[in-house]
Amino acid sequence: MTLFDLRRLKLRSGEEHTEAVEIQLEPFDLGGQRYLPVPDTVEAAFTANRATTGTAFRLRFRIRLHGPCYRCLGDAVLDIPIDAREYQAMNPDDEELATPYVQDDKLDLSAWARDSIALALPDQILCRPDCAGLCPVCGKNLNDEPHVHEEEHGDARWAALEALKDQL
């Protein structure tokens, strides 16, 4: 876990602090699958701007995630640019004016980065945009072995209903 001590920032209203920070990233589970950030430590640009009512934070970095494809379960690699912003009011009466990543004057950069990655992910993580997926009949990867199965023969127990359907 990477924490940034906000007490060391001695900013007055209108001032800015920019620093390169290394953030430790943990693997995370998404849709029952594990995705690994590679490398697990990323260098990020961290910026803090002091306003009259609070502090605005910005975190920018690029991440590469490795994990299974949603369609074929093969290896998928995803490069994601992250540009996240948070705000912390000096006296937050409203919880919307306080970031959940600040506790006891420490900013949890690892949790903020993890949540930012999760928000930046596409709906489906694919090995390639035209991934064909797995065959619903035999389970083979259709990217490696494109094929079509012959027409399925129905279950004999349903034959009487099939005959009724043809009569209607």
Q: What is the mean pLDDT of the segment spanning 84-100?
A: 84
- Minimal CA–CA distance to 116: which of 49, 51, 58? 58
- Please state the domain extents for the chain: 3-120
pLDDT reading at 96 higher than 90? no
Q: Per residue in 107-163, pLDDT tens? A: 999 999 999 999 999 989 999 999 999 998 888 999 998 888 887 666 778 888 888
CA-based nearest residue to 3, from 105, 84, 117: 105
- With CA atoms as reference, report the closest residue to 3 among 115, 119, 104: 104
49 bridge partner residues? 16, 56
What pLDDT, on a 0 to 100 scale, did the predictor assign at position 153?
Answer: 67
| Residue 28: per-residue pLDDT | 85
Instruction: Summarize pLDDT for 27-72 with one digit per residue, the tens.
Output: 988 888 899 999 889 999 999 999 888 999 999 999 999 999 999 9
For residue 162, the model assigns a pLDDT of 82
Q: Tens of pLDDT along 3-36?
A: 999 888 888 888 899 999 999 999 988 888 899 9
pLDDT, tens digit, 9 for 90 and up, residues 69-87:
999 999 999 999 999 999 9
Distance (Å, rounded) from C-alpha 85 to C-alpha 112? 9
Residue 152 is predicted with a pLDDT of: 65
| Torsion 64-68-71-76 (CA) sign | positive
